[in-house]
């Protein structure tokens, strides 16, 4: 490791999924076209999938989803991009002597191009930290595909950090802070992004890691089993996805007479369309129609606690590499 006065020979690249460059149908179409063409995400044969994607799904979905993006758009851009860049900046202060950068798997700033640039700049080793706490073949492994195609500096990837003590403590701390400002009595719902059940059946460790994360966070908060639940959101397509679904779980909680639910989404490192629009707007409205109050707990985003935790995860991986 070099000191602060020298040019760093080590980089840490935090990588997120990617997001449209503007809240318009054209930009959403470009983004979804690239994302949903990755066979890690949709594994149907391209000869079958591409005509369906280009001819039906993108023309219908892009104009429907663009206004949703517009409803959460920030001054600096898409929340996913703004918070990911902010997190990398905050980690930079905590990792002197290391170049900390951010990239996206799909769209800009492109991970593949960033790795080329780091090679051209003569970096010796690059640690890639996908901002997915739980490993999935549909997300983390797809970042791994980009690394496998890259040449140049030595590359390593952090597979997951779903039980990293610093991360568990940071998420638990955010729940505690949220509840300290309000009355304490709500049920806590852990809502994770879903997956097709078929992907889990093929051995994807994601659901087990989601369960382990939720259990560890609940334990850190001292919550008894009846005070929390776990569910999966953001279903896409007609296949069966992981269950229970977040909307059905909220309906069941309302039917049991539970009036206040705090929802946290610890499968997302930063807030994005799926947390801000789907959970904190649409699902909160749905729960209110059933007589309850849904209080959304924001992701760790670019908070000091998140930057501390991710810098610790990166530092540990670099130390193990040395």
Residue 279 binding ligand L6N33NVT, by CB under 6 A: no
Residues 6+ apart with CB under 8 A from 156: 125, 126, 127, 128, 317, 321
How far is residue 302's CA from residue 136's CA, in Å, rounded to a whole number? 23
To ligand L6N33NVT, the closest distance from the beta carbon of 68 in angstroms equals 8
Nearer Cβ to ligand L6N33NVT, position 195 or 253? 195
To ligand L6N33NVT, the closest distance from the beta carbon of 182 in angstroms equals 26
Residue 140 binding Fe ion, by CB under 5 A: no
| 239 is known to lie in a ligand binding site | no
The one of Fe ion, ligand L6N33NVT, none whose footprint includes residue 264, by CB under 5 to 8 A per kind, is none
Using alpha carbons, list the distances in angstroms from residue 212 to 44, 123, 201, 273: 30, 36, 18, 25
The one of Fe ion, ligand L6N33NVT, none whose footprint includes residue 191, by CB under 5 to 8 A per kind, is none
The alpha carbon of 1 is separated from its chain's Cα centroid by a whole number of angstroms, namely 29
Copy the structure tokens of residue 180.
């300290």
To Fe ion, the closest distance from the beta carbon of 236 in angstroms equals 7
Nearer Cβ to Fe ion, position 234 or 249? 234
Residues 6+ apart with CB under 8 A from 138: 40, 41, 195, 199, 204, 206
Residue 78 binding Fe ion, by CB under 5 A: no
Tell me the per-residue interface mask from 220 to 249 with Fe ion, x by CB under 5 A, - otherwise.
--------------x---------------
Specify the DSSP element, H or E, that contains 125: strand 125-130
Q: Cβ-closest residue to Fe ion?
A: 234
Residues 6+ apart with CB under 8 A from 304: 90
Q: Are 141 and 128 in contact (CB under 8 A)?
A: no
| 193 is known to lie in a ligand binding site | yes
User: Residue 122, exposed/middle/buried by CB under 10 A (0-12, 13-18, 19+)?
Assistant: exposed
The one of Fe ion, ligand L6N33NVT, none whose footprint includes residue 275, by CB under 5 to 8 A per kind, is none
**Residues near ligand L6N33NVT, by CB under 6 A:** 17, 19, 32, 41-42, 61, 65, 78, 80, 132, 136, 138-139, 193, 195, 206, 234, 236, 267-268, 272-274
């Amino acid at each position: 490791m070099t000191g602060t006065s020298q040019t760093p020979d080590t980089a840490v690249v935090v990588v997120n999924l990617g997001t449209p460059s503007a809240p318009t149908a054209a930009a959403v179409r470009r983004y979804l076209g690239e994302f949903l063409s990755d066979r890690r995400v949709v594994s149907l044969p391209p000869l079958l999938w591409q005509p369906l994607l280009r001819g039906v799904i993108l023309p219908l979905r892009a104009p429907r989803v663009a206004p949703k993006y517009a409803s959460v758009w920030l001054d600096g851009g898409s929340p996913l991009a703004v918070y990911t860049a902010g997190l990398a900046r905050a980690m930079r202060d905590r990792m002197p002597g290391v170049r900390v950068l951010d990239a996206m798997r799909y769209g800009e700033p492109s991970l593949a191009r960033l790795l080329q640039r780091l090679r051209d700049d003569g970096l010796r080793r690059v640690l890639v930290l996908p901002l997915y706490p739980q490993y999935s073949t549909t997300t983390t492994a797809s970042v791994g595909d980009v690394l496998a195609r890259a040449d140049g500096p030595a590359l390593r990837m952090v597979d997951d950090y779903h039980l990293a003590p610093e991360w568990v403590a940071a998420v638990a701390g955010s729940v505690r802070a949220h509840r300290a400002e309000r009355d304490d009595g709500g049920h806590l719902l852990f809502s994770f992004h879903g997956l097709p059940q078929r992907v889990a059946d093929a051995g994807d460790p994601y659901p087990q890691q989601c369960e382990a994360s939720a259990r560890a966070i609940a334990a850190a908060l001292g919550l008894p089993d009846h005070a929390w639940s776990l569910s999966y959101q953001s279903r896409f397509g007609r296949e069966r996805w992981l269950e229970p679904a977040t909307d059905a779980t909220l309906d069941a909680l309302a039917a049991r007479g539970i009036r206040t639910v705090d929802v946290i989404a610890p499968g997302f490192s930063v807030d994005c369309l799926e947390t801000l629009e789907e959970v904190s707007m649409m699902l909160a409205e749905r729960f209110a129609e059933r007589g309850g109050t849904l209080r959304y707990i924001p992701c760790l985003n670019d908070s000091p606690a998140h930057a501390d935790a991710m810098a610790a995860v990166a530092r540990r991986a670099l130390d193990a590499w040395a």
